[in-house]
Amino acid sequence: MTSGGDAPGMNANVRAMVRAAIYKGCKPFAIYEGYEGLVKGGSDYIKELSWNDVRGWLSEGGTNIGTARSKEFRTKEGRLKAAKNLIDAGINALIVCGGDGSLTGADLFRSEWPELLSTLLKSNQITQSQHQSFKYLNICGTVGSIDNDMSSTDATIGAYSSLARICQAIDYIDATANSHSRAFVIEVMGRHCGWLALMAGIATTADYILIPEKPASSKEWHEQMTEIVAKHRKRGKRTTIVLVAEGAITSDLKPITCTEVKDILVEKLGLDTRITTLGHVQRGGTAVAYDRILATLQGFEAIEAVLQCTPDTPSPMIAIEENKIIRRPLVNAVKLTKSVAEAINNKDFKKAMQLRDSEFVEHLHNFMAMNSADHNNPSLPLEKRLNIAIINVGAPAGGMNSATYSMATYCMSRGHKPFGIYNGFTGLTRHESIKPLNWLEIINWNNAGGSELGTNRTVPEESDIGLIAYYFTKYKIDGLIIVGGFEAYTSLHQLERNRVNYPAFRIPIILIPATISNNVPGTEHSLGTDTCLNSLVEYCDTIKQSASASRNRVFVIEVQGGNSGYIATSAALACGAQISYVPEEGISLDQLEMDINSLKQIFINSEGKSKSGKLILKSANASKVLTTNVLASIINSESSHRFEAKTAIPGHVQQGGMPSPIDRTRAARLAVRAVQFIETKTEILLPFKNCDSFNLLSDDDIHKIVNTAAVLGIKRSKLKFTNIRHLYDFETNVKKRMPKDIHWSYIRDIADQLEGRITIKH
């Protein structure tokens, strides 16, 4: 059942539940129109779904089974009717996808279940046999909410799709604002949670945001906003963007309206100002790749959860913490969520902020610091200010520019001097392409694709490492941030290894992984992968539409990613590809035969029905012999004329255009952490800067020093710094340019199960 406000990804969630339930031998039912349908019951509202009933749902927005609020369910009589309807349908487990109100209702329903059954038995509405058979009701919740306002989870289904709509709209608005040198006041959703406004503010470099968690008095926010906007304008910025969460308030709980904000900008600064209310556009459209994957994994886990629940198990809520799907007690999550709104209503804003997850608070601090860049007095004393350089190495990836912008603006707010090294290490050695980054020049970099600094694959030892050291010394570089993929990883290794010969490299060096291949050891997520997945999923949706329109057609789509199958696997899960081939598994002839026979059977069963087109995603390096064209030819020759195979190669389209909000905001967080890493590690290296016996250090000194050259990655539930020496020696398959541990392999099994694919394990 889907309930409350609709959210992109709900259909993906339902699809995963239906297919996972069937795969595990259960009967899945959809309850149409939310709790209203549960109360009304009958075959019009409670319907069993088959495998093919949810075909194509991944690419559809909203919720196909409907959602509606129900006053009757809030009454005991209504819940009694709902219980009777579930028993009549033979249902003993209920999974609800919705917000805190919907999940509260579900948990209340479970707690009352024994009492409701007893009442139904006494009134002869159910038999003793039914009472015994449906003695327990298992409840599970998945969170569908664009506000991302549920505690105990990093993301809710639909939140990042909504954020993508907001950022796209602001990007468009920013272009017209620049043309007329205008100010725009934009209202976004978020009654009790400012997550959308905050993240959009970071992703689009908004001038000011107003959110319910951090209000100020009417006078204070008036003055703060006009001061910041005036400083930005004075430094040459032509546009002004102010984001207002719909729940924005002053410290005395007075609502802040867009009209009020507009009037202040007009009266105090004389700006030509417009108001844009995005409204329900934020809910609309198809889900982005992240939400499709999140909803699918959570739907699959929800089925596991209800099957494993016992009468004593607290109702679980399926959550995510930094890439890991977990279960949380539903009642605790709802209680925490409601306590945020209560704290705001009680004017206890400090408590409201504490109840938000640490990442929310971190993002808010980062936004405030970056927003004051180069305009306010630096927060560090003169003696602690550093020269910090940033360089891009490897292929372009979405988020590279965002990382540069965030690094530079945060450095400025602290008092550091940010340097950009242009066109990689060869740009430095051939043309001395290094210069301080200027705030006005980089103001639009955050939402730009590619790499404004320029990038190439040349590593230091292929360039001129001695000359690199010379320029580091000349410009007095105190810390280096490398942004890129495996070539950047190799560069970090080479610079760390050459500290013995070159004192210039005895500085903190940090790598922010950025590559669509997601093949850098030390992290489970690289910048650029989300942008790539969005581009690839959009491409696959279009191809699948063509395949379905032509009925019996299969498209073999070639996917980039080097020796990593991460992109192919994730895209297959997000777009519902029937088959995916990856380098980690290769393509065996017996598996290929099994897959072709499976396709034959699918097309026989479809009998020319709509939506019968199929996709096969093949990593370019999955097989050197079975290329994309060869694979399509084999499928055609073996298809018995029941279907035909075509090829599609998106190529560099996969690198994406403008970076996704996820890559922009994640880049900001990683860049700030990288600067903080350099700040904390600088003093450790100072005693060894000009040490003549660097290769004869004690074990204690070596241990300190090796941790000053590290990869900043996302591992399990947190950001983690791992020194390059450990990663390179123990966790890297250098020949294949891959980490030894493939953290995402479990996703392949889920993708195969949800498509009914039988795999042969070797």
Whether 641 and 663 map to the same domain: the answer is no
37 in a labelled binding site: no
pLDDT digits (tens, 9 = 90+) for 508-518: 999 999 999 99
Whether 146 and 169 map to the same domain: the answer is no
Whether 593 and 641 map to the same domain: the answer is yes
598 and 757 Cβ atoms separated by less than 8 Å:
yes
List beta partners, residue 615. Answer: 555
749 in a labelled binding site: no
Going by C-beta distance under 8 Å and a sequence separation of 6 or more, which residues neighbour residue 92? 86, 133, 134, 136, 137, 138
Dihedral class, residue 319 (left if φ above 0, else alpha if ψ from -120 to 50, else beta) = beta
Whether 488 and 540 map to the same domain: the answer is no
147 in a labelled binding site: yes
70 in a labelled binding site: yes
d(CA 737, CA 443): 35
User: What pLDDT is stored for residue 184 in this prediction?
Assistant: 97
List beta partners, residue 48. Answer: 29
387 in a labelled binding site: no
User: What pLDDT is stored for residue 611 in this prediction?
Assistant: 58
Dihedral class, residue 41 (left if φ above 0, else alpha if ψ from -120 to 50, else beta) = left
Kindly list the catalytic residues.
147
221 and 187 Cβ atoms separated by less than 8 Å:
no
406 and 667 Cβ atoms separated by less than 8 Å:
yes
Structure tokens at 514: 């950025």
105 in a labelled binding site: no
pLDDT digits (tens, 9 = 90+) for 442-475: 999 999 999 999 999 999 999 999 999 999 999 9
CATH of the domain at 464: 3.40.50.450
Whether 585 and 714 map to the same domain: the answer is no
110 in a labelled binding site: no
74 in a labelled binding site: no
d(CA 656, CA 411): 28
Query: Does residue 419 lie within any of the structural domains?
Result: yes
d(CA 499, CA 459): 16
Going by C-beta distance under 8 Å and a sequence separation of 6 or more, which residues neighbour residue 316? 140, 141, 305, 309, 327, 328, 329, 330
73 and 86 Cβ atoms separated by less than 8 Å:
no
Whether 498 and 608 map to the same domain: the answer is no
Q: Where in the sequence is the domain holding 546, given as residue range(s)?
A: 531-655+746-755
562 in a labelled binding site: yes
Whether 474 and 579 map to the same domain: the answer is no
d(CA 495, CA 35): 61
Query: Does residue 740 lie within any of the structural domains?
Result: no
Regions of the chain where pLDDT drops below 70? 322, 607-612, 717, 762
561 in a labelled binding site: yes
Q: What is the pTM of this model?
A: 0.95
Query: Does residue 361 lie within any of the structural domains?
Result: no
Query: Does residue 357 lie within any of the structural domains?
Result: no
d(CA 6, CA 1): 12
| The last residue of a domain, from among 343, 369, 390 | 343
Whether 454 and 560 map to the same domain: the answer is no
Q: Mapping DSSP to helix (H, G, I), strand (E, B) and coil, where does residue 36 land? A: helix
| The last residue of a domain, from among 246, 267, 282 | 282
100 in a labelled binding site: yes
What is the domain count for the chain? 4
Query: Does residue 593 lie within any of the structural domains?
Result: yes
Whether 252 and 383 map to the same domain: the answer is no
| The last residue of a domain, from among 326, 343, 360 | 343
Alpha-carbon dihedral 103, 107, 110, 115, rounded to 10 degrees: -120
CATH of the domain at 542: 3.40.50.460
Query: Does residue 363 lie within any of the structural domains?
Result: no
Whether 451 and 518 map to the same domain: the answer is yes
Query: Does residue 359 lie within any of the structural domains?
Result: no
515 in a labelled binding site: yes
Q: For the chain, report the end-to-end CA distance as a whole number of angstroms.
A: 39
User: What pLDDT is stored for residue 612 in this prediction?
Assistant: 64
User: What pLDDT is stored for residue 219 in this prediction?
Assistant: 85
Whether 146 and 16 map to the same domain: the answer is yes
Alpha-carbon dihedral 62, 3, 189, 219, rounded to 10 degrees: 180
Whether 672 and 632 map to the same domain: the answer is no
Query: Does residue 741 lie within any of the structural domains?
Result: no
